[in-house]
Structures are given as structure tokens and as C-alpha cells.
Amino acid sequence: MTEPIQSANSTFPANISSLRPILAWIISQIEESPFDQAELRRIEVALEEALVNIIHYAYLDQEGEIEITCNYFPEDQIEIIIKDYGIPFNPLENGQKIDRMAPIEERTVGGLGISFMKELMDKVEYSREGNANILTLKKYC
């Protein structure tokens, strides 16, 4: 794999008050990419879905951290790696296909955010390495 031409890392507390600062930091890292404002907003929505799931479920009301790495590659690809040390959870395995045309009362509860995340990004990957959940979101220009 090609090495990124730009890379940045940061760690944040895994709590809801960190959500806006995390998103602002990530967007500040990728705003120089060729993406227009509409595409940056879609990326932000996908990130918000991933981060909210980690904040609410990864640490089961315990304190924890979220590590973020933003990579920008020469072939105009961004990669955002979100790492937590909470309970093992593969959102790609657990997210179901959502039928948005079904009446609301017939839809299953949950999973909509994961579905949005997959639709808004070009590639979403999950791995468990040691005691870390690693979610990688990629977008191509």
C-alpha cells in the first residue's frame, strides 16, 4: 500500500462532550483534500455515526479513549482510522440492510446509523487487533 502524504493522530476521551471536538479535529485534517463542502459533510455524518456508537456502547459506562488517525494518500484518498479499547463489536457484522421504504412501524430498531455510514463512505473495514476495535473509513476523490 502507498504511504500517506499526510498523516495525523490524536486521542480523545470517549464521551459525548468530545464528539464535536473530535469531528472538528478530523475535518480540520481533511479539509484541504479535493472534497467539496457537501462531500465533507457526508464524511462528517458517517464519522458521527461511528463515534456515537463507540461513545455509547464501547466502554459500558466506563471511562475510555478514542484514538483517531487521519491519512491522506497521493491517489486522492482519505482514510480515517478510529480505534477504541472497548468491548469487541464489529458494526459491519451487526448492521443489517435497512428498507427505508418499509412503514416505520415495520422497521427493526437500530442499525440505521451503520447503514448510513456504509452508504456515505466508499469503504468501511473493521478489525480486532489485541484488545482494540479498529474501524477504518475510506473515501476516494
CA distance 9 to 67: 7
Residues 27-39: pLDDT tens digits? 999 988 899 999 9
CA distance 61 to 14: 10
Q: What is the mean pLDDT of residues 103-118?
A: 63
| Per-residue model confidence (pLDDT) at position 104 | 47
Specify the pTM.
0.87
Chain-wide mean pLDDT for the chain? Answer: 88
Residues 38-80: pLDDT tens digits? 999 999 999 999 999 999 999 998 999 999 999 999 888 999 9
**Domains contained in the chain, number:** 1
Residue 1 lies inside a defined structural domain of this protein: no
Residue 103 lies inside a defined structural domain of this protein: yes
Beta-strand ranges (E) seen in 65-104 are 65-73, 77-84
Residue 108 lies inside a defined structural domain of this protein: yes
Q: Which DSSP letter does residue 121 get?
A: S
How many CB atoms within 10 Å of residue 71? 21
Say what angle helices 37-53 and 112-120 make with each other, to 10 degrees: 140
Residue 119 lies inside a defined structural domain of this protein: yes
- Spell 122-132 as b/e; 16+ CB within 10 A means b: eebebeeeeee
| Per-residue model confidence (pLDDT) at position 92 | 81
The residue segments making up the domain with residue 84 are 6-140
**Residue 50: which CATH number?**
3.30.565.10
Three cell numbers, residue 46: 458517517
| Per-residue model confidence (pLDDT) at position 99 | 53
